[in-house]
């Protein structure tokens, strides 16, 4: 029990709310400060994998997740653009536990928010400043309010306001691609294979789709090359005809799905180089503020949840005076793993976009990626933090 330790989490997204739930579960006095007037997520899917799902189920959120998630399992597959089968998509950990859900982001956020007492979440709080001394950290908000805490967790996303107080502002790395995303009612796709994730790979582009919200919706994402810089946005409107044109001649499943697209959104794909550190005194980074990554491993939200649970273990046994050391221990445990996942997501994107001269070699790499997925999915961030052990590096 962290007697007297006060924690302020800046950012009410998936990572921030998961962290708050984990901290409360360990008796830590935590409050979340979100700049938006109300909690909410954009209409997009998130691929929940075993490494995060097991952590949320331990918090008692299993029934809530099951009520809104869509199971993804056997039959999930990678294909070439023409529909030629390449390899199965892994949907279990190495024990065989099928821990994969397709989730609507808004549903996952609602599960996390509902589990928190209402008085712990403060919306309409846009952070504009930070300072600290040896004993306390202070947050300053646009409306003039000030909050003091022994620990501040920056869970404020890829455009983090607080990151600058830890490291110099990081430069966005443009992937050269944009992602079109959207949702289609499953009833409009009666021929669609249920409970599977499918991904088609072509030259410089790829397309994926999986179910969300109990299987009632199909979440799709089409990745296309784009020469101009595009804003890091999850809500910019896209052109459905442009999206369809990008996948002309692809497998029938892709083109038939795209015929049903009436509206779509797009965002530019950026990440950052892994940061040299996450922590300064009583301030630490979490989730996209610490390790923004491309979506090609489906690990952005999953790694944020891992962060939050690991951080809660370290802070749950820290007194206020010990908090800076606990934050450094959290960083030491988490940063090597997330750096490896960041770089792995880049490499996987190159495979999906067929950026290898020999497609046979690409297909072989996709098939053999099961060992990397096992490394991802088998990890137990809570157990590792309890043991005080850094996550094991991936060994091919």
Return the active site residues: 210
For 60, left (φ over 0), alpha (ψ -120 to 50), or beta? left
SS3 208: strand
CA distances from 291 to 91, 171, 301, 304, 345 (A): 24, 12, 11, 9, 12
Q: Is the dihedral of CA 147, 152, 157, 163 positive or negative?
A: positive
Report the distance separating Cα 334 and Cα 384, nearest Å: 10
Report the distance separating Cα 376 and Cα 380, nearest Å: 9
Q: Tell me the backbone φ, ψ of residue 187, rounded to 5 degrees.
A: -65, -25
Report the distance separating Cα 65 and Cα 57, nearest Å: 8
CA distances from 195 to 70, 98, 189, 296 (A): 7, 12, 13, 20
Report the distance separating Cα 334 and Cα 212, nearest Å: 29
Name residues whose C-beta falls within 8 Å of residue 364's C-beta, 6 or more positions apart in sequence.
Answer: none
Among 26, 20, 18, which Cα is nearest to 2's? Answer: 26
SS3 214: helix
């Amino acid at each position: 029990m962290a007697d007297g330790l006060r924690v302020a989490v800046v950012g009410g997204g998936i990572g921030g709310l998961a962290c708050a739930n984990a901290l409360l579960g360990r008796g830590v006095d935590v409050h979340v400060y979100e700049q938006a007037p109300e909690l909410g997520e954009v209409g997009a899917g998130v691929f929940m994998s075993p490494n995060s799902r097991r952590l949320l189920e331990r918090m008692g959120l299993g029934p809530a997740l099951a009520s809104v998630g869509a199971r993804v399992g056997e039959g999930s597959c990678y294909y070439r653009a023409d529909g030629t089968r390449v390899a199965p998509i892994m949907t279990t950990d190495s024990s065989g536990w099928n821990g994969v859900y397709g989730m609507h982001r808004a549903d996952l956020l609602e599960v996390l928010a509902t589990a928190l007492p209402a008085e712990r979440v403060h919306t309409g709080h846009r952070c504009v400043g930070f300072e600290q001394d040896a004993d306390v950290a202070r947050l300053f908000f646009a409306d003039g309010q000030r909050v003091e805490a022994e620990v501040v967790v920056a869970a404020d996303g890829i455009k983090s306001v607080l990151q600058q107080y830890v490291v110099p502002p990081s430069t966005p790395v443009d992937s050269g691609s944009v992602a079109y995303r959207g949702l289609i009612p499953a009833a409009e796709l009666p021929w669609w294979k249920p409970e599977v994730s499918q991904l088609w790979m072509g030259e410089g582009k790829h397309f994926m789709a999986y179910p969300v919200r109990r299987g009632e919706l199909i979440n799709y994402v089409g990745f296309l090359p784009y020469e101009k810089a595009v804003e890091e946005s999850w809500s910019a409107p896209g052109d459905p005809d442009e999206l369809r044109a990008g996948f002309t001649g692809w497998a029938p499943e892709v083109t038939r799905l795209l015929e049903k697209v009436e509206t779509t959104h797009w965002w530019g794909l950026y990440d950052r180089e892994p940061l040299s550190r996450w922590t300064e005194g009583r301030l630490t980074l979490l989730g996209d503020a610490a390790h923004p990554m491309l979506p090609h491993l489906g690990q952005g939200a999953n790694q944020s949840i891992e962060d939050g649970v690991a951080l809660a273990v370290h802070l749950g046994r820290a007194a206020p005076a010990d908090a800076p050391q606990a934050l450094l221990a959290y960083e030491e445990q988490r940063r090597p793993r997330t750096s490896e996942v960041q770089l792995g997501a880049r490499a996987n994107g190159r495979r999906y976009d067929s950026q290898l001269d020999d497609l046979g070699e690409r297909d072989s790499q996709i098939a053999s990626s099961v060992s990397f997925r096992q490394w991802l999915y088998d990890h137990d961030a809570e157990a590792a933090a309890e043991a005080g052990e850094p996550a094991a590096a991936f060994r091919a």
